[in-house]
Amino acid sequence: MLFFSCQDNYKRVGDEAQKQMYPRGVAHNFRLVRTKAQKDLDSEDSASSKVIAILTSSVGENYENLSFPHMTFPEGLQVDFFDDENRKSIIRADYGIVYSISNVIDLQGNVIIESHDGKKLETSQLYYDQDNEWIFTQEKFKYTNPEDGTVMDGEGMDFYKDLSLLKAHKTNGLMMIKEEADD
Q: Domain boundaries in the chain?
A: 23-38+48-139
Burial class (CB in 10 A: 0-12, 13-18, 19+), 122: middle
- In angstroms, the CA 150 to CA 143 distance is 8
pLDDT in tens, the chain (183 residues): 665 656 666 666 666 666 777 888 899 998 988 888 777 766 665 567 788 889 999 999 999 988 889 999 999 999 998 888 899 999 999 999 999 898 898 999 999 999 888 889 899 999 988 888 788 889 998 988 888 888 888 888 888 766 666 677 777 766 555 566 665
From the candidate CATH numbers 3.90.1150.10, 3.30.70.141, 3.10.580.10, 2.60.450.10, the one assigned to the domain spanning 23-38+48-139? 2.60.450.10
Contact 53, 80 (CB under 8 A): yes
pLDDT of residue 99: 92
Q: Taking the complete model, does pTM exceed 0.95, yes or no? A: no
pLDDT of residue 49: 79
Mention every residue, 6+ apart, whose C-beta is less than 8 A from residue 158. 134, 135, 136, 137, 167
What values do phi and psi take at 16, rounded to 5?
-70, -15
Alpha helices in 9-142 (DSSP H): none
pLDDT of residue 12: 63
Please state the three-class secondary structure of the chain as a single string.
CCCCCCCCCCCCCHHHHCCCCCCCEEEEEEEEEEEEECCCCCCCCCCCEEEEEEEEEEEEEECCCCCCCEEEECCCEEEEEECCCCCEEEEEECEEEEECCCCEEEEEEEEEEECCCCCEEEEEEEEEECCCCEEEEEEEEEEEECCCCEEEEEEEEEEECCCCCEEEEEEEEECCCCCCCCC
Q: Provide the β-strand partners of residue 174.
A: 151
Task: Supply the DSSP symbol for 18.
Answer: P
SS3 118: coil
pLDDT of residue 90: 93
